[in-house]
């Protein structure tokens, strides 16, 4: 017999919302199980039971914004640390990209519950996603995500000559970090000192540690793509909204 699971967990598994959103909707009486409103937190359901949400929940979710920033060096992705500012402090009316064509109007209330969906190191630059939408966060950083992230990486080889082809193959599929084998990557030379990395995971300082393992020193790292969403011409330190027609 299948074990019951928490309603909020099941809603997240179905891609309806994040667990936090689910708990909020349950408390507000916006969730039905087999047509009956369930408003008690911690309620459990069986996998075959039908879960629906009221229109108010969908309307609230539609108002949630997702922001794309071209993060410069010196900003942390999440909470402030060691005196460094978080990337969310870059989001003001003045720093919105003038060419942003999204119809959304900026309001400071959008900064509430705006969290990074993935991270960029303090000394890395490029595309960073901040979102209020639990579905997007789960899509980008959930355990089962398969969304590619592409980086341009400027490197310096610590030995004479060029990186051997065998080591390039190891970067593609053959390295382990912290005792765990990495997922296959797509790594190729763009020119004499720049590599393209395409990853489907994001361990802490992963690219820098991968490069160290084959004798490469990273001089610069820039994320240029997450799934189908490109950094494009977004200037450093500026931001824009994810448009309704864009999907990762």
The vertex-155 CA angle with 214 and 85, nearest 5°, equals 110
Catalytic position from the list 100, 121, 133, 193 = 121
Which H/E stretch holds residue 212?
helix 206-213
What are the distances in angstroms from CA 208 to CA 88, 137, 153?
24, 24, 9
Q: Residue 108 gets which letter from DSSP?
A: G
Based on the residue annotation, tell me whether 121 is a catalytic residue of this protein. yes
The vertex-212 CA angle with 208 and 215, nearest 5°, equals 140
Q: Closest Cα to residue 172, out of 183, 161, 164? A: 183
Token pair recorded at residue 52: 């629906």
Which residues, at least 6 apart from 204, have a Cβ–Cβ distance to it below 8 Å?
119
Q: Residue 235 gets which letter from DSSP?
A: P
Instruction: Compute the distance between CA of residue 200 and CA of residue 210 in angstroms, rounded to an integer.
Output: 14
Instruction: Compute the distance between CA of residue 202 and CA of residue 205 in angstroms, rounded to an integer.
Output: 8
Provide the annotated active-site residues: 121
């Amino acid at each position: 017999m299948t074990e019951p699971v928490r309603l909020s967990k099941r809603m997240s598994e179905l891609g309806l919302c994040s667990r936090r959103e689910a708990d909020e909707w349950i408390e507000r009486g916006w969730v039905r199980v087999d047509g009956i409103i369930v408003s008690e937190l911690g309620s459990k359901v069986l996998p075959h039971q039908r879960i629906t949400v009221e229109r108010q929940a969908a309307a609230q979710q539609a108002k949630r914004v997702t922001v794309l920033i071209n993060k410069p060096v010196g900003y942390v992705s999440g909470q402030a640390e060691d005196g460094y500012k978080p990337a969310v402090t870059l989001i003001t009316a003045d720093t919105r990209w003038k060419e942003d064509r999204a119809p959304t109007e900026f309001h400071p209330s959008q900064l509430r519950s705006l969290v990074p969906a993935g991270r960029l190191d303090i000394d890395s630059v490029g595309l960073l996603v901040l979102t209020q939408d639990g579905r997007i966060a789960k899509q980008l950083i959930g355990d089962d995500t398969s969304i590619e992230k592409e980086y341009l990486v400027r490197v310096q080889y610590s030995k004479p000559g060029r990186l051997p082809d065998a080591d390039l193959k190891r970067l593609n599929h053959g390295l382990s970090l912290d005792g765990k084998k990495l997922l296959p990557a797509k790594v190729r030379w763009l020119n004499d000192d720049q590599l393209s990395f395409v990853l489907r995971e994001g361990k802490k300082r992963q690219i820098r540690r991968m490069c160290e393992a084959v004798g490469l020193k990273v001089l610069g790292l820039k994320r240029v793509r997450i799934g189908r969403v490109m950094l494009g011409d977004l200037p450093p330190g500026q931001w824009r909204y994810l448009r309704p027609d864009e999907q990762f």
